[in-house]
Structure 1
């Protein structure tokens, strides 16, 4: 059995039986370090087959094991009288140990750590606005999901589009004054009487004018308002008033509404 084991090991390590015996003998040297002797004692184990047999203690020197297996990291061993190079053996053993340790740690971490969560890309609407034909007599583009409400003013219907939660509003109505400048001046005079009124500024163009201010609304609290009055494509003066809490930017909603408003029957670009 010992010969078969030596031949089997020699076939695995690509060496011969004599070199295996030499490596075993070299590992048993008593002047070697404790660590190397411990490793040699682990690797130099007898190979048996079949049922275990009882070992009897006999006087005299301990007989040599029937067969031993010495695990060497190098595939080619010099079988001369010089023992194998100590540094190369330990470098190979150290490299194998480090590789095994790294693989064990990597496998353990992959089993313990949960997989990285996938980051879902938020869905974006192709167009956040839609064009509606309002019963008040015009076509206009407003944000999707805004609610419409119409009330009868002193001179004309007033339509209000309100964002969910009341965070933004667009109020649209036809102006009855002779010019947008006159209408805007009157509107500013009325706004100055509101609670907490604070003037913010005015801008004016060829056929439009607007002023902005803050006031305290009984329904919505502190409110910022931009009152924009302009002439539509057919020359009809309109007012679109954008309002919301201070810090809310209504510029985009107001610009979309002004540029898209077209009275019924008018030719708009």
Structure 2
């Protein structure tokens, strides 16, 4: 018996197989492309947002690009100074390298910062009087302890405003020799009254003694207070 020839598969079957193969290829391509896009997106998540906590694949927290320095940090950018958060209850800028001391005053702790080399000092303390001008007048003229009683006392300058008063003077210290002083008393941002005193040898330029006080006053901010 002669075998019956077998012809090629019917065209419809072959078309369906080719179409199915194309569909599978397209689906695989789409999945691979989507996976690559997700991985690339994950590694850069947060780079253009303000969320600050992107969690891409293999990436740690992403810092917020919208963060800005706080006013306290901005105030500390002067060269040669550093910001101090003093445990007494305020922050201010003092020269780098100056050492801190604290002692109990008549009505409040007196915090001191001293230069290790040239004898300059800052003193910071809270006032008990009602006004800066009244406090400074009492400190100068009290018959028992006023610094007008010090040997060699001489007023160099005097000024005042609505919320502050200042006196610059010199005197002769029995141990340190001739000294110059700038005593600045003021109302702080929270309404409390404070004094910042700058002292140094009379032989130094007056600006060199005053500059740390100027910087301390400009940056002074009581704790838990918004300061401009």
Q: What's the TM-score once normalised by structure 2's chain length? A: 0.61
Structure showing greater Rg: 1
Match of 2:215 among 252, 256, 267: 256
Note closer, same or farther for the CA distance 1:229–1:126 as it changes in structure 2 (3 Å cut): closer
The CA deviation at 1:166 is 4.5
Aligned residues: 145
Pick the structure with more strand per residue.
Answer: 2
Matches within 5 A, 1:26-65: none
Within 1, Cα distance between the matches of 2:190 and 2:153? Answer: 34
Q: 3-state DSSP class of the match of 1:233?
A: coil
Return the match for 2:135 from 183, 196, 200. 183
Distance 1:133 1:237 in 2: 18
Q: Which runs of 5+ in 1 are unaligned?
A: 1-124
Distance of 2:132 and 2:161 partners within structure 1: 11
The answer to whether 1:129 aligns with 2:65 is no
Distance 1:193-1:126 versus aligned 2 partners, 3 A rule: closer
Task: Note the C-alpha offset of 1:251.
Answer: 2.3
Q: How does 1:191-210 map to 2 (within 5 A)?
A: 191-210=147-166
Could you tell me how far 1:223 is from its partner in structure 2? 0.1
Match of 2:227 in 1: 268
* Cross-structure match for 2:64: none
Aligned to 2:125: 173
Q: Which residue of 2 aligns with 1:164?
A: 116
Q: Deviation digits for residues 42-91 of structure 1, max 9, x if unmatched? A: xxxxxxxxxxxxxxxxxxxxxxxxxxxxxxxxxxxxxxxxxxxxxxxxxx
Q: Name the SS for the 1:214 alignment partner.
A: strand
- 1:238/1:245 CA distance change after superposition, 3 Å: same
> CA separation in 2, counterparts of 1:266 and 1:156?
20
Q: TM-score, structure 1 length as denominator?
A: 0.52
How far 1:264 moved relative to its partner?
0.8
Output the CA distance in 2 between the equivalents of 1:217 and 1:135. 30
